[in-house]
């Protein structure tokens, strides 16, 4: 079956991207995963779906998830996390501490990197750990 969304970049091209680009796409991949999970497993109305989704996608939650899965990551994945955490982002967080924002960016960078490099099985493993 053909991919719904075509990922055209080669691994060497993805490796040259800013970790903030990985986090940009990772944010949307993670949000879609959470929203789909909630639609599949609940019978909530849209407003309540949104309220539930926020519990998973807020910066503090993503920081906690990253802390929980960190020891299960490969050395390459830990390097991606480090690059995402240390990326020079000039955006000031509204509803999170600077530390929470850096770690949530690192988490999103990991998700985005795995998605862009088509490591779908590993991405699925990590995303499913987010639900524990």
Could you tell me where the DSSP H helices lie in 9-97? 11-15, 19-41, 46-57, 59-69, 75-86
**Has 120 been annotated as catalytic?**
no
Q: Report angle CA 122, 125, 130 to the nearest 5 degrees.
A: 130
Q: Do 131 and 40 touch, CB atoms closer than 8 A?
A: no
Active site residue: 27, 64, 79, 88, which one?
27
Q: Please enumerate in sequence order all residues whose Cβ is within 8 A of that of 14, keeping only pairs 6 or more positions apart, or say none.
A: 22, 113, 116, 117
Between CA 31 and CA 78 the distance in angstroms is 22
Half-sphere exposure of 131 (CA within 13 A, CB side): 13
Active-site residue list? 27
């Amino acid at each position: 079956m053909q991919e719904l969304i075509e990922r055209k970049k080669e691994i060497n091209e993805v490796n040259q991207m800013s970790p903030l680009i990985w986090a940009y796409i990772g944010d949307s991949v993670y949000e879609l995963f959470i929203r789909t999970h909630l639609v599949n497993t609940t019978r909530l109305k849209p407003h309540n779906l949104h309220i539930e989704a926020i519990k998973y996608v807020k910066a503090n939650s993503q920081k906690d998830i990253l802390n929980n899965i960190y020891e299960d990551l490969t050395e390459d994945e830990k390097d991606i996390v480090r690059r995402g955490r240390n990326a020079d982002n000039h955006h000031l967080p509204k509803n999170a501490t600077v530390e929470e924002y850096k770690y949530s960016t690192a988490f999103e960078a990991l998700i985005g990197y795995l998605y862009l490099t088509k490591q779908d099985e590993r991405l699925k493993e990590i995303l499913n750990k987010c639900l524990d």
